[in-house]
Amino acid sequence: MRKNFSGQARASSVATACGGSNVVGYALDGPQGRGYTLKMLEPLPDEYFMREALRQAQKAYAADEVPVGAVVVREDKIIGRAHNQVELLKDATAHAEMVALTQAEAAVGDWRLTDCGLYVTKEPCAMCAGAVVHTRIRRVIFGCADPSAGAAGSMMNLLQMPTFNHRCEITSGVLQKECAAILQDFFRKRREGRDSTTC
């Protein structure tokens, strides 16, 4: 869609159209004082937000927490970001997803997050998947699978249970190698530390 703007119309010529979490922005191009063309800006890709989740995972790694990070996105804006804080808070429920969801609820002013997406570096566990269903998250995007405890398709799929009153879209494998690598490195170093103390 193209439309020319000039003169006084220039000042009020930016519009935004929202469709779920796929926000389409519009910006103007053209030299000052000339005709302007309205051009559509594409929504940010999944990789962009997964990299933000990976930054959170790196914070967890630095704090000697299991390196999982999560961000909640609404209309292409991050409204919640967190990493695992189980050891810091001495709280088994302080997974990255749980903390990020709580932040997002506070930002929205509601427990319903129906127009939001959750990006998380590792497939959610049963606890986090249950919280996702309860908060009505529209879409879950995760990096690497968790074959032993993943509840978004690996061991079970709580996010798309036909008997539940809410089901989420799932996208898996976004930056899978990077998300898996930080976990593998963390647990490798932990094993090496244990082995060195038993010698």
Active-site amino acid positions: 97
State how far Cα 142 lies from the chain centre: 8
The residue assigned the tokens 């995972």 is: 57
- For the residues of the chain, what is the DSSP string, one character each? ---EE-GGGGGG---EEEETTEEEEEEEES-TTS-EEEEEEPPPPHHHHHHHHHHHHHHHHHTTS---EEEEEETTEEEEEEE--HHHHT-TT--HHHHHHHHHHHHHTSS--TTEEEEEEE---HHHHHHHHHHT-SEEEEEE--TTT-TBTTS-BGGG-TTSS---EEEE-TTHHHHHHHHHHHHHHHHHHHHHHH-
* Two tokens, residue 92: 């088994």
User: Counting every residue, how long is the chain?
Assistant: 199
